[in-house]
Amino acid sequence: MSLIGKPNVGKSTLLNRLVREKIAAMSWRPQTTRNKITGICHLEGGQIILMDTPGIHKSTRKLNEVMVKTSLSTYGDVDLILFMIDARQGFGDEDAFVLESMQQSRTPKILVINKIDLIPKARILELTGAVNAKETFIETVPISALKSDGLKLLEQVLLKHLPKGPRYFPEDMITDAPEEFLIMEIIREKVFKLTAMEIPYAVAVLVESLREGKRGMLVIDATIFVEKASQKKIVIGSGGTLLKKIGTHSREEIERRLGNKVFLNLFVKVKERWRDDVRALKEFGYTHGLH
Ligand SMILES: Nc1nc2c(ncn2[C@@H]2O[C@H](COP(=O)(O)OP(=O)(O)OP(=O)(O)O)[C@@H](O)[C@H]2O)c(=O)[nH]1
Ligand SMILES: [Mg+2]
């Protein structure tokens, strides 16, 4: 099952809620997610395998092209597409663009209207009617991912429509993403939240090494790449204060996630125009559709 929608509608928030653990980066900025990430939701009635994807949008940059291709590539791999819209913003041109991208796909679609905590109830019915007039959805489920409202119903709807099969994953497994990826995303999310303007978008993170240090401590070396020397200066901050804050916030979350004490070494480097540089994109793990 794939979570699809324009940026910022709440796809990653829903993934984390259904998995009952934070595995996907979330922020109030659009285009937070850049890779797909699989989450596994264990229920009495079965396992739901969910895929969070980057928000589909228009852009001329290579990175953004790769992000969108990553999302589109999931259509053929899944049994269900969850098309998510933001209840407060309603259905706009950007949503129409996303819907158009799935027109060719024969995968059944469910409409998820998220952020219903922000609108009056009557508006839900109105939106349901308006969006269902544009496309055939097998179900419409209004939810608030943030407030965990409507999620029980959504789980039941998903179980009903997903084909029955063996349980693929062990009960304690919530993602198949490698540790390096989860760590990279935690650091990138902190940069997304602690920097402003164009900086979050100019940042890529690479986990260079993971090794066991003294007393079972996990030692992590990671590099934050930016596109310009001026951005590097900002990410480091005066006297290194911002980098320190990014490091502390990241380390605390990595420790919670891995259940291990962590020593995090963060470096900042400039890689000019990496967002349009195929080699750099590959190095950073943004590979979909690149040759
Ligand atoms: N009020 C409200 N806010 C929500 C809800 N779900 C998500 N949000 C907020 O919406 C913002 C975007 O959430 P994300 O989960 O990062 O959105 P996304 O669709 O994954 O965004 P991209 O990765 O950029 O495509 C965050 O600030 C969330 O807290 C909701 O049900 N209600
Ligand atoms: Mg996301």
Residue 291 CA to ligand 1 centre (angstroms): 32
Nearest CA to ligand 1 atom 21: 8
CB 2 within 8 A of CB 75: yes
10 known member of a binding site: yes
State the ligand closest to the CA atom of 4.
1
**How far is the centre of ligand 2, averaged over its atoms, from the C-alpha of 11 (Å)?**
5
Question: Of the CATH numbers 3.10.20.30, 2.60.40.1240, 3.40.50.300, 3.40.190.10, which one belongs to the domain with range 2-161?
Answer: 3.40.50.300
Contact 204, 53 (CB under 8 A): no
Average pLDDT over residues 143-169: 95
| pLDDT beyond 90 at 68 | yes
Half-sphere exposure of 168 (CA within 13 A, CB side): 14
pLDDT of residue 71: 98
pLDDT band at 17; cut points 50, 70, 90: very high
Query: Is residue 142 annotated as involved in ligand binding?
Result: no
Best CATH choice for the domain 179-283 from the list 3.30.300.20, 1.10.287.610, 3.40.640.10, 3.30.420.40: 3.30.300.20
Which residue's CA is minimally distant from atom 1 of ligand 1? 115
**Using the 8-state DSSP alphabet, how is residue 71 labeled?**
H
| Closest among 288, 287, 284 to 205, alpha carbons compared | 284
Q: Where are the domains of the chain?
A: 2-161, 179-283
Supply the pLDDT for residue 291.
81
Asked if residue 16 lies in contact with residue 24, where contact means CB atoms within 8 angstroms, the answer is yes
Please tell me the residue having the least CA distance from ligand 1 atom 12: 8
For residue 145, the ligand 1 atom closest to its alpha carbon is: 31
Ligand 1 binding site (Cβ under 6 Å of any ligand atom): 5, 7-13, 26-28, 30-33, 54-55, 114-115, 117-118, 144-146
Other beta carbons within 10 angstroms of residue 124's beta carbon come to: 15
* Nearest by Cα to 228 from 284, 281, 279, 269: 269
Distance 8 CA to ligand 1 centre (A): 5
Res. 166 pLDDT band, cuts 50 70 90: confident
Average pLDDT of 230-259? 97
Give the model's pLDDT for residue 247. 98
Average pLDDT on 200-208 reads: 98
- Pairing mode of beta strands 218-226, 204-212: antiparallel
Identify the pLDDT of residue 165: 84
Taking Cα atoms as reference points, which of 215, 216, 235 lies closest to residue 227?
Answer: 235
Q: What phi and psi values does residue 119 have, to the nearest 5 degrees?
A: -130, 155
Give the confidence band of 167 by pLDDT, cuts at 50, 70, 90.
confident
Ligand 1 centroid to Cα of residue 119, in Å, is 15
Question: DSSP labels for 39-95?
Answer: EEEEETTEEEEEEE-PPP----SHHHHHHHHHHHTTGGG-S-EEEEEETTT-S-HHH
pLDDT tens-digit map of 103-140: 999 999 999 999 999 999 999 999 999 999 999 999 99
